[in-house]
Structures are given as C-alpha cells and as structure tokens.
Copies of this chain bind each other. A is one copy, B any other.
Amino acid sequence: MIRKEALETLAELQKKMYAYGVAMASLTLDADTVAPKDTAEGRGVALGILAGESHKLFANKEVGDLLAELDAAKDELDPTVRRQVEVLKRDYDRMSRVPAEEYMEYAMLRNQSGDVWHKAKEKSDFAMFAPVLEKLIACTRKFAAYYDSTKAPYDALLNEYERGINMEYLDSFFASLRERIVPLIHEISKKPQPDDSFLKKEYPIAKQREFSDYLMDVIGLDRSHCTIGETEHPFTLNFNNKDVRITTHYKEHDVSASMYSVIHESGHAMYELGVSDDLQYTCLAGGMTMGTHESQSRFYENLIGRSLPFIQAIFPKIVEFFPEQLEGVTAEQFYLAVNRAEPSLIRTEADELTYPLHIMIRYEIEKQLFGGTLEVKDIPETWNRLYKEYLGVDVPDGKHGCLQDSHWSGAMFGYFPSYALGSAYGAQMLRNMEKDFDVWDAVGNGNLAPVSAWLREKIHKYGGAKESAELVRSACGGAFDPTVYADYLVEKYSKLYGVEM
C-alpha cells in the first residue's frame, strides 16, 4: 500500500529540483548573454551555493528512504511515477556518494574555468588553460568513480551522456564509420568543389536576424514559448516545456553559419517544447540523453536542412531576404554550396561528411586523457597530429585547434561522441519515418508539420520517461544499426560529387 504522503513528497522534491535547475540555468544564460564582463566571481559564489543546496535537498537520508519505500512498492505505481522513482533512485545512489563540498567545488570550478578558457582561446594560449583543465580532469575523474566505480573512468563518463555506451561500443562504431567515409573523402578530394563564394558575401546581421525568425517559423517553433539570443557559441537552454531559448552567432561574411546553427538549435528546442505537459516539474521533463537530443538537432540541421527538397522549398524566401547576394544563384547551386565537403579545422563549421572525424579526434584524446596515456600538456601536439592524420590539415594555433570547443571548460568529458551517435540515430529514424509517410513531398512543400508531429509522437513527448535505447529502437523501427548512417553519407555524397564508391 503506497502512502499518499510519499507520492506528494516525491512530487514536491522534483518540483524543488526543477526550481533550483531553473535558477542555475537563468544565471548561466545571463552569464552567456548580457552579463557584464568581470562578474564571474559573484555569480560563482551564488551558483556554488545553489548547486550545494540542490545537492543537499536530494542527497540526504530522507530522500533515500522515500525512494527505497516507493521502489519496494514499484509494481503498484503508475508507470510515470515508477519511471521517476527508477531515474531518481539511479541518480540518488550515484549522488549520495558525492560529498556536498566536492559537489559545490566542482560546480564553482566549472563556473570559473569558462572565463579562463575564453581568455586562453582568445590568445591561443593553451598553457594558460592547462592548469585549470588539469584540475577539471582530476575532479571529473573522482566524479567518474562516484558515478560508477566498477567502470573505467571514461566509460563511466560516456554512460552519463548516453546510457549503455562505452569505449568498446564506440571504438567499433567509429571504426566502421571511418572505414566507409575516409575513402569517400579521399575520392571527393580529387573532384572539383562547388562554388560557395556567394555564401561569403556581405550578409548584414540585421537581415540575418530576420532570416533566423523566418527559419524558426519554418521549423514550427511557437515563438511565444521560444526566443533567440546571441552568444559566442550557440546553444539551447530549456526552463520547461513552455519556455525554451536558443542562441546563435552571426558572421557577417558567412550566411550559412548562423542559418544552420539556428536550424540545429531549433531541433533541440522542438524536442524540449514537445515534452508532455504531465511530465513538467518532474525529473522526466528534461531527462533526455545527449545522444537522443543530438539526433533531433542534427536531424533538422542535416537530414532535413541540408536536403535538396528543403532548400528548394525555402530558396525563394532566402532570395527575398538576400536578393543582391544571391543574384543569379539557383536553389541547386545553394544546395551544393551548403553541402560542400572539405577537411577543415573547426568542428562547428564542418560539413556533414567530415564532421564525424572531428568527433573521433576528440574521442581519441579524451579516451587517452582518462586512460592515463596522455597528459594535459601534450594535448596540443596530439590534437595537431590527429588533425593532420585524419583530416590532412595543419592546425595553425590553439584557437583553431584544441581550444576551439567550450566543452572541456565545462567538464563535459564524454559528451562529444553524442554528436556522432545522434547523427547516426537520426539517419535511421529518417529511414523509418519514410515508411510512414511521404517525407520529401511534405518537406518539398515547406511543410514540416508532419515531420515534427512524427518526431513528437515517437520521441519528444516522452521526455525522460523512456530509456534512450528504447526510444531509439522504437523511432528507428528496430535495433540501432550504424551502417544506415554510413550508407546515407556515402549515398548523399557520392551523388553530390559524382563519385563511384
């Protein structure tokens, strides 16, 4: 017999954790958008305390007892509450192993290191960032043991971002992918490149802002629940399923940079806005894995956004925004230009085909850092060597090399593989979606409503109510099969470049 009070306490607890999450998210959003430059210290004090309070709220014996009580009676719980108990218990068992001071220390460290990384990146000075990075890694290694001491540290971290994933799995995933795309990239390199000079003309930022609004409308975002801001690095932040923010970064001489980051972040936002109302203010409201999240963002960005039917559908409108810049350019030429595949230095600007190689390099380095076979001071050398080996490019400096991503400064070690996994999930979901309705007829008419309805039904609405593996299986129409992604890339790019593989 389940006590009514136990269920109420469970709901209350989750609501409080939501409130702390919102508070910390708001401070972070502020820091990244409008906060004055030299304000990290005072914000760090506040964030450290809020993280500590939120931790104490959860990691205490009463919560442990409550979860044990509900877990013991789990067969009587309704499925959503049962899942909440399952997720919270998993978190509890893990979190209760983290001393409150260490938790706060970790939060403050991550908050401060963003600033150091920023300055180091600006100056391309890795030595400036190295001491902080060492601390971050040491701290994260300790946390990895708290998460799961039976696993190798990096496996424990990978499991945080995509449950069930480990190095063995990823080694094979990346190997099979590399085997297919490296020869393709090699063949493509012999072919002439499509002209993309019109993308690099002057695109006034005020006009690009209007264009972003249009793109968000096309994706189907309800603007009364989602705004767009501007940050150095684009991101999506959700407060709840009625309040999501995306950001972008405009470049005056590259219209596609912001165009595709807006579509990418809109994919994340669609996910968060699509979560069922009845999961709000619970741990299931935002409990998706990074892999499933990236499957949605990269679905919109690449599978839809860089497809010919989509470009054809919106091209007349793009020309309305930028008539001079695109004079004489056809939809097909625009399509070729935004799909130009070419080894490059910056991950976020990489094309769909070479992108996974950027991920593999980061994966390799993180694996070695946590495996103890690479020291922080040697990161630049290894980074540069791998870029030469995998992509054939010479890294000129830290800004265009190992200092380019913010992830490490936020201690998000183990996150990067989610991007590649997400892309692979997405490709398979698309194959499955195509069985249900004529995707390309809808997209070709600029109508993404059936696409988002399908994704909402198969994925979004569940929030964290299902395990990622289950979600992926159901949306993919079967077990996850990475060859679908490789097939998709090979098919798309051999056709684009007229290459036989």
**Which stretch of A22-30, A90-98, A144-152 is in the interface?**
A22-30
Interface hub of A38, A229, A243 (most chain B Cβ within 10 A):
A243
A19 contacts B50, CB within 8 Å? yes
Choose from B16, B38, B225 the contact partner of A39 (Cβ within 8 Å): B225
Q: Is A102 part of the contact surface with B, judged by Cβ < 8 Å?
A: no
With contacts A46-B22, A227-B34 taken as known, whether A239 is within 8 angstroms of B39 at the C-beta atoms is yes
CB closest chain-B residue, reference A225: B36
Q: Is A242 part of the contact surface with B, judged by Cβ < 8 Å?
A: yes
Q: Is A4 part of the contact surface with B, judged by Cβ < 8 Å?
A: no
In the assembled complex, which residues on chain B have CB atoms less than 8 Å from the CB atom of A281?
A: 45
B227 contacts A38, CB within 8 Å? no
Q: Is A55 part of the contact surface with B, judged by Cβ < 8 Å?
A: no
Within 8 A of B (CB), among A117-138: none
Within the assembled complex, what's the spacing in Å between the Cα atoms of A20 and B242?
23
Within the assembled complex, what's the spacing in Å between the Cα atoms of A48 and B281?
13
The digit string for A243-277, where 1 denotes a CB below 8 A from any CB of B, is 11100000000000000000000000000000000
B36 contacts A50, CB within 8 Å? no
Within the assembled complex, what's the spacing in Å between the Cα atoms of A269 and B239?
29
Within the assembled complex, what's the spacing in Å between the Cα atoms of A26 and B229?
16
A37 contacts B224, CB within 8 Å? yes
Within the assembled complex, what's the spacing in Å between the Cα atoms of A42 and B243?
8
Q: Is A479 part of the contact surface with B, judged by Cβ < 8 Å?
A: no
Within the assembled complex, what's the spacing in Å between the Cα atoms of A239 and B16?
22
In the assembled complex, which residues on chain B have CB atoms less than 8 Å from the CB atom of A19?
A: 45-50, 53
The digit string for A3-39, where 1 denotes a CB below 8 A from any CB of B, is 0000000000001101110111011011001111111
Within 8 A of B (CB), among A262-308: 280-281
B229 contacts A39, CB within 8 Å? no
A42 contacts B224, CB within 8 Å? no
Within the assembled complex, what's the spacing in Å between the Cα atoms of A23 and B16?
14
B34 contacts A229, CB within 8 Å? yes
Q: Is A481 part of the contact surface with B, judged by Cβ < 8 Å?
A: no
Choose from B34, B46, B227 the contact partner of A35 (Cβ within 8 Å): B227
With contacts A27-B23, A53-B53 taken as known, whether A243 is within 8 angstroms of B43 at the C-beta atoms is yes
B225 contacts A15, CB within 8 Å? no
CB closest chain-B residue, reference A243: B39
Within the assembled complex, what's the spacing in Å between the Cα atoms of A227 and B49?
25
Q: Is A186 part of the contact surface with B, judged by Cβ < 8 Å?
A: no
In the assembled complex, which residues on chain B have CB atoms less than 8 Å from the CB atom of A38?
A: 224-225, 242
In the assembled complex, which residues on chain B have CB atoms less than 8 Å from the CB atom of A244?
A: 36
CB closest chain-B residue, reference A28: B26
Instruction: Give min CB distance, A311 to chain B, whole Å.
Output: 29
A36 contacts B243, CB within 8 Å? yes
Q: Is A226 part of the contact surface with B, judged by Cβ < 8 Å?
A: yes
A49 contacts B240, CB within 8 Å? no
Choose from B18, B24, B223 the contact partner of A36 (Cβ within 8 Å): B223
With contacts A23-B50, A35-B227, A36-B223 taken as known, whether A45 is within 8 angstroms of B29 at the C-beta atoms is no
A residues sitting closer than 8 Å to B (CB atoms) are 15-16, 18-20, 22-24, 26-27, 29-30, 33-39, 41-43, 45-50, 53, 223-227, 229, 239-240, 242-245, 280-281
A-B contact pairs, 10 of them (CB 8 A): A19-B47, A19-B48, A19-B49, A23-B23, A34-B245, A37-B223, A37-B224, A42-B242, A42-B243, A53-B53
12 new A-B contacts at CB < 8 Å, known A19-B53, A36-B227: A22-B42, A23-B46, A26-B30, A30-B30, A36-B224, A36-B245, A37-B223, A37-B224, A39-B239, A42-B239, A42-B243, A42-B280
